[in-house]
């Protein structure tokens, strides 16, 4: 039984050294809801600058929804998939869900005091960021398993919702759920307005993302494909049935796992797929290998001023998390995938800008 | 790695002895499409006799869709789940998918001639029904794994579609996809007309049922929850990506696996659930344990003349496949679940009646 829940392709050092830049684990602060503001009057995609990226989206939607077009796609086949971290919301300096897991350790040891003196929980509780950054991948997996599994699914959902309503990103001092990209919310809405079913296809935990996907992205829980763990059906002492989250990995929804997860959960090949990193390569390849009109796009984070800049493609810094490699850039060019420049294609980054 | 794909709770003898009543493996015959005829004018559920079962469905839909009702359910939470075998279509004398697997053995040995002289394939090819009926559960699993996995997902879909277009049920000499219950098609349509998302939740193979769910039931592939196998992403010799069906069981979608599969694939508790056997018990319990209005129904096969009669509840014959036990009948009574009598509640059984 593998316990690798989240971290395929991301090295321990990368992940943990990022912790050093976080000022503290998230504390309770006033909740502010992110609203998925949609296209205002004056045409679709108002937060996009005119250019090839905006045009590619508009051309694709027009061609696939015009009954007279040779590229027309019947409504039931209109499936669009979106990576989350780095494609729909901020993934730096570290994935929000990892911050959640570290934050949850103190609650965990209240339920299971015996863990207080056991590694790696002892180190996390020490608050010593240097020591946390030195934890092994095995240690980190133990933290994920302990904080994401072993409780009823309803308890997990309530705990995650509480955290999401208070925890803030250190750079903007805003809720993580506010740090969604306004231009991408517009793409989601534009596609839905044209009969597309929009799905999230993320390496993040499926149940975690489902907790906020509807209110943040307008995507219902049944349209979230993520890294999937097993559950176990049972009865409480009153005979009431409930499901417990098990430390059993069903599918690691990253890289090759993305098309596998799409087949499992959707059973159709997407018509459009959006990503931002090497973890999305196989999803875009799978999408692009179908017949007829297809749209494949990658968000390039080249805007250190308004968000972050990382590649290592095109000479951008190699920060590992969400890596957009030179090889991916070359494959995009070869296959005709569109690379979105955050810096030049997007007028606004966030809903609150 | 378990290879138990289908058969939890059904004994080998039960399953295989049923083969004896099939006159021959299905031969190629003219395809006739089953059409999901929906409610005609004059109110919903025209193929239902007036009575408590019909009334329970109508009352539930009215209460949950009337904004002024205390039982109102917001549209996004309107999820209804349906078992397939014995609930939406005929499951006797043996599950259609098992017939498919046995039928596929001859095609399998064309691809892999070395299997021709190896058991259990040798026995299946012999055409000796008595010998086939004596195969062990282990042998049967080997047949399922060999015929349902190890090929690209597109190849499997094409092969299954071809079989479904020709194979016929021995009793009615009609395509399996025609042997769907007209009253249940009306329930599906009535629920959808009232904003419910309808899902199949079946112990059958997810990819198999997806092959015909849209045209037979009006249910798209992404709303089929079944027994799930893994797939593996790879590239063909031209570098084109494809998925291969793997002999890896992710979830056995029967009994406790049904609520687990519902959580995995839908992430919400259903508002309504329909089944017909002990394999659906946990799904109905899970559905019924939520707050607010819920509808749980079980089809009782008590009509040997028009379809089949089996229980063993209420003194009906114990045929094992699709068993409706006395314990289930008692639980239905205790929990207020509605038992549908095929004989007295349904005016028509099939679309073609």
Please list every residue in chain B whose beta carbon sits closer than 8 Å to the beta carbon of residue A231.
260, 263-264
Tell me if chain B has a CB within 8 Å of the CB of A260: yes
Q: Which residue of B has its CA nearest to A226?
A: B264
- What average pLDDT does range A77-88 have in this prediction? 98
Q: Which of A65-69, B156-160, B218-222, B317-321 has the lowest mean pLDDT?
A: B317-321
Question: What's chain A look like in SS3?
Answer: CCCCCCCCCCCHHHHHHHHHHCCCCCCCCCCCCCCCCCCCCCCCCCCECCCHHHHHHHHHHHHHHCCCCCCCCCHHHCEEEECCECCCECCCCCCHHHHHHHHHHHHHHHHCHHHHHCCCHHHHHHCCHHHHHCCCHHHHHHHHHHHHCCCEHHHHHHHHHHHHCCCEECCCCEEHHHCEEHHHHHHHHHHHHCCCEEEEEEEEEHHHHHCCHHHHHCCCHHHEEEEEEEEEEEECCCCCEEEEEEEEEEECCCCCHHHHHHHHHCCCCCCEEEECCHHHHHHHHHHHCCCCCCEEEEEECECCCCCCECCEHHHCCCCCCCCECHHHHHHHHHHCCEEEEHHHHECCCECCC
Q: Which residue of B has its CA nearest to A262?
A: B222
| Extended strands (E) in B196-337 | 197-205, 224-235, 241-251, 272-275, 295-300
Contact B197 A259 (CB under 8 A): no
Instruction: State yes or no: pLDDT of B39 exceeds 80.
Output: no
For a pLDDT cut of 90, what percent of chain B falls above it?
Answer: 81
Cα distance between the two ends of chain B: 45
The overall average pLDDT reported for chain B is 90
Pairs of residues, one from chain A and one from chain B, whose beta carbons lie less than 8 Å apart: 90
What pLDDT does A137 receive? Answer: 82
Beta bridge mates, B35: none
Tell me if chain A has a CB within 8 Å of the CB of B230: yes
| Global ipTM | 0.90
**Shortest CA distance to A298 belongs to which of A318, A327, A319?**
A327
Confidence of residue B73 (pLDDT cuts 50, 70, 90): very high
Contacts of B128 (CB under 8 A, 6+ apart): none
pLDDT in tens, A171-195: 999 999 999 999 999 999 999 999 9
- What average pLDDT does range B188-197 have in this prediction? 98
Q: Other C-beta atoms within 10 Å of A274: how many?
A: 29
Tell me if chain A has a CB within 8 Å of the CB of B231: yes
What pLDDT does A5 receive? Answer: 45
CB B274 within 8 A of CB B187: yes
Cα B96 from Cα B170, distance rounded (Å) = 11
What pLDDT does B5 receive? Answer: 45
- What average pLDDT does range B242-269 have in this prediction? 97
pLDDT in tens, B128-182: 888 888 888 889 889 999 999 999 999 999 999 999 999 999 999 999 999 999 9
Which of A240, A243, A268 is nearest residue B222 as measured by Cβ atoms?
A268
Please tell me whether the peptide bond between A93 and the residue prior to it is cis, using omega within 30 degrees of 0.
Answer: yes
Contact B241 A282 (CB under 8 A): yes
Beta bridge mates, B117: none
Confidence of residue B320 (pLDDT cuts 50, 70, 90): confident
Which of B76, B233, B286 is nearest residue A260 as measured by Cβ atoms?
B233
Cα A280 from Cα A339, distance rounded (Å) = 13
Please list every residue in chain B whose beta carbon sits closer than 8 Å to the beta carbon of residue A240.
289
Element of type H or E holding B175? strand B174-175
Instruction: State yes or no: pLDDT of A8 exceeds 60.
Output: no
Please list every residue in chain B whose beta carbon sits closer than 8 Å to the beta carbon of residue A205.
none
Four-residue CA torsion sign, A227, A232, A237, A240? positive
What pLDDT does A11 receive? Answer: 56
Higher pLDDT, B284 or A40: B284
- What average pLDDT does range B16-43 have in this prediction? 47
Please list every residue in chain A whose beta carbon sits closer than 8 Å to the beta carbon of residue B289.
240-242
Tell me if chain B has a CB within 8 Å of the CB of A250: yes
pLDDT in tens, A268-312: 999 999 999 999 999 999 999 999 999 999 999 999 999 999 999
Instruction: Give SS3 for B126.
Output: helix
Tell me if chain A has a CB within 8 Å of the CB of B236: no
Please list every residue in chain A whose beta carbon sits closer than 8 Å to the beta carbon of residue B206.
264, 267
pTM: 0.91
Distance (Å) of CA A308 to CA A177, A188, A302, B3: 17, 22, 7, 47
Phi, psi of B146 (to 5 degrees): -70, -30
DSSP code for B115: G
Instruction: State yes or no: pLDDT of A7 exceeds 50.
Output: no
Confidence of residue A14 (pLDDT cuts 50, 70, 90): low
CB A229 within 8 A of CB A5: yes
Please list every residue in chain B whose beta carbon sits closer than 8 Å to the beta carbon of residue A259.
233, 241, 243
Contact B263 A231 (CB under 8 A): yes
Contact B240 A289 (CB under 8 A): yes
Which of A233, A240, A263 is nearest residue B260 as measured by Cβ atoms?
A233
């Amino acid at each position: 039984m593998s316990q690798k829940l989240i971290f395929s392709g991301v090295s321990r050092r990368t992940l943990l050294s990022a912790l050093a830049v976080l000022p503290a684990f998230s504390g309770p602060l006033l909740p502010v809801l992110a609203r998925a503001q949609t296209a205002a009057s004056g045409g679709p995609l108002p937060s996009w600058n005119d250019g090839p990226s905006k045009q590619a989206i508009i051309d694709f939607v027009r061609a696939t929804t015009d009954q007279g077009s040779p590229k027309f796609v019947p409504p039931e086949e209109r499936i669009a998939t979106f990576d989350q971290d780095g494609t729909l919301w901020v993934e730096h300096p570290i994935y929000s869900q990892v911050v959640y897991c570290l934050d949850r350790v103190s609650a965990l040891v209240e339920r299971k005091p015996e863990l207080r003196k056991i590694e790696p929980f002892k180190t996390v509780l020490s608050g010593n960021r240097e020591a946390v950054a030195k934890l092994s991948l095995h240690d980190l997996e133990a933290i994920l398993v302990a904080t994401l599994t072993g409780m009823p699914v309803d308890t997990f959902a309530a705990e995650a919702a509480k955290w999401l309503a208070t925890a803030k990103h250190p750079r903007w001092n805003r809720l993580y759920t506010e740090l969604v990209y306004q231009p991408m919310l517009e793409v989601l809405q534009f596609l839905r307005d044209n009969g597309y079913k929009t799905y999230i296809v993320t390496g993040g935990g499926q149940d975690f993302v489902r907790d906020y996907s509807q209110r943040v992205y307008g995507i219902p829980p049944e349209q979230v494909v993520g890294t999937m763990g097993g559950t176990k059906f049972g009865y409480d002492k009153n005979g009431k049935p409930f499901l417990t989250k098990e430390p059993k990995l069903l599918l690691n929804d990253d890289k090759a796992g993305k098309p596998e997860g799409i087949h499992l959960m959707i059973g159709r090949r997407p018509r459009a797929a959006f990503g931002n990193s090497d973890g999305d390569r196989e999803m875009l390849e799978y999408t692009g290998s179908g017949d007829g009109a297809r749209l494949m796009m990658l968000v390039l984070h080249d805007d250190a001023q308004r968000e972050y800049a990382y590649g290592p493609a095109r000479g951008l810094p190699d920060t590992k998390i969400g890596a957009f490699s030179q090889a991916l850039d070359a494959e995009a060019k070869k296959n005709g995938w569109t690379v979105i420049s955050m810096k030049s294609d997007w007028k606004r980054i966030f809903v609150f800008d």
